[in-house]
A and B are shown apart, each in its own frame.
Chain A
């Protein structure tokens, strides 16, 4: 655990942890509201947003792409709602229509435009490039206090850190109204809470988390972190506070373990090359969910005896 670790592994792990937490926090509420697949839909429509931003600006710049992706997510949410109402179609099907069409449009735009000179392709969008977010300027733990080296940190780290912080603060500030509208929307309305606005705000927050995390780690981690850690946490406890803490712990564990297993696991088994970190983080999150589903103390529905489940 020396200079090499700081240089090659510290920043990817940190970025992975922050992205996982940024997604898992809104994921807790999405799961309780039966909107878990909004995360899935958003992470698909991010692609056309990024491609359009690239075509308009002609450069792979982070800020326009983040804006493009965010706008695409908002457009998708509005489209899903419009199709649901105009066509009287069930939400799942409406979502399926919107995100697949937008994703297909994104892929087509990407193939048709000349992106050969830039690092922008579908596989990158799906799998991210966590492994490449290294900190070249570091030469040991001492670099953590060296301003010159700190200036060379990958910019993704700063962005995802800000987003994770903002989402944590938002979760804390809106805790009470969010909880109320999630569990009993009718009651929340009688208290005068703007339930629809809160619901929309939650989806937008999820979109921001997805877009920022996507920038750093690709869409697999985004979908997996929206759903797996909160789902596993839900099987551990009945209290929402504890569920959120469990989900943060699970998200962190998935990010660290996934990265380490992907980078060093094959070496321990005698293979020469590392495997995809994004894929491994999702796999570890799945393993945690499997364990929780088999052994979590609150895995059964109320009223079902634990012996039969």
Chain B
């Protein structure tokens, strides 16, 4: 059983994102910063009449922030719309999801977001679980 995956480029690596989660792929224009938000929250952006929370995917993966902000993958998670920044979008393809090979430890951020792998044109790609990239809200004292 093959599912549709978006093949995207993040920090010079190809990743696959479950197409079922993705609402649309957009070009992000202006971003309004959110003071006192977790670092991975790049800010808010308007998408037609909707406000989306822009997640800097690189920061969420424990990498330095993205230098250029351009394309993003939009998904609705727990009732809120998020835009995940990607460097580039390469393809959409039906692929087979496979477990990660044994012994795959991965770097910190990547291991949090990566849940499985797919093979695309002979190249293994990490399946990125974008929902896991959303910073967990720190319980507010108030």
Q: Is B truly associated with A?
A: no
Chain B residues proximal to chain A, CB less than 8 Å: none
**Interface residues of A, Cβ cutoff 8 Å to B:** none
